[in-house]
Every structure is written in structure tokens, then in C-alpha cells.
């Protein structure tokens, strides 16, 4: 690793470690009922967030900050894909539709990249 990238990698590892240790508390303290009442999204789109929180809560830390970060990011990205797909059924603004399509394409590509990275790190996922 180059000296130029070392601070960013250290920061990423720190964020992943803090997030992994705080994720169960965050998931338990998040009042999804309140979120449902304050957002204009319907239950189908909010379900994507609930699924994400459940998936993140179920992740067992590996002790490898790189792998733990990637494992947490996959459900986060999948949630963006799921919400975008659900929203597309109701959207009519061409610019918003294009953004949702772009989000789906980009997030799915990043999920594939993260899965490949996890396999390379010795933590393969489906």
C-alpha cells in the first residue's frame, strides 16, 4: 500500500470497526415505525430498509476490518437497489427515473466488486 493511501485505509478500517461494534445498538434503537410515518415512501420501499437493517444486524464480525466493512456495505447497497426498483413503478419524472436506473446499475456493480474482494480476502459470500 502506498503511503498516500495508508491514511484512507486506516480511516476505513476505523469506521468499519466502529460501525460493526455499534450496528446492533443502532438497529435496536432505530424506530422504524417513526420512519414509516415521516417518510412518503410506501411499505414496499420501507421494507428494503428493514431488510437492510436485519441483514446488517445478522452479520458476525470477522475481526478483519476490510471484510467487515465490505460485509456491511453489501446490504446497504442492496437496499438502494431495492428502493430504486420499488420507486420506479410509481415515478414519472424522466430525470428521477434515470437516476434510479443509474443507482441500480452502479450499486449492483459495486456489490459484485465487493463480493469479489471478499472472496479474495478469504471471506466469500453468495
125 lies in some domain: no
Query: Are the C-beta atoms of 103 and 85 separated by less than 8 Å?
Result: no
3-state secondary structure of 63: coil
| Each residue's pLDDT tens digit, 2-40 | 555 555 555 555 545 555 555 555 445 544 444 444 344
1 lies in some domain: no
3-state secondary structure of 116: helix
34 lies in some domain: yes
pLDDT at 115 over 70: yes
Q: How far apart, in whole angstroms, are the C-alpha atoms of residue 16 and residue 123?
A: 16
Q: How far apart, in whole angstroms, are the C-alpha atoms of residue 104 and residue 2?
A: 32
* This prediction's pTM: 0.61
Which residue is associated with the grid cell 411499505? 43
Domains: count for the chain:
1
84 lies in some domain: yes
| Each residue's pLDDT tens digit, 56-102 | 666 788 889 999 999 988 988 998 898 899 889 899 999 999 999 99
Provide the domain limits for residue 46. 6-120
Amino acid at each position: 500500500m502506498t503511503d498516500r493511501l495508508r491514511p484512507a485505509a486506516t480511516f476505513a478500517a476505523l469506521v468499519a470497526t466502529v460501525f460493526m461494534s455499534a450496528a446492533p445498538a443502532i438497529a435496536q434503537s432505530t424506530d422504524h415505525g417513526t420512519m414509516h410515518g415521516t417518510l412518503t415512501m410506501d411499505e414496499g420501499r420501507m421494507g428494503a430498509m428493514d431488510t437492510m437493517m436485519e441483514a446488517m444486524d445478522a452479520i458476525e464480525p470477522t475481526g478483519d476490518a476490510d471484510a467487515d466493512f465490505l460485509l456491511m456495505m453489501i446490504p446497504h447497497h442492496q437496499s438502494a437497489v431495492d428502493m430504486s426498483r420499488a420507486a420506479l413503478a410509481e415515478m414519472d419524472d424522466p430525470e428521477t427515473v434515470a437516476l434510479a436506473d443509474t443507482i441500480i446499475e452502479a450499486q449492483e456493480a459495486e456489490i459484485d466488486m465487493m463480493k469479489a474482494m471478499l472472496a479474495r480476502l478469504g471471506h466469500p459470500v453468495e
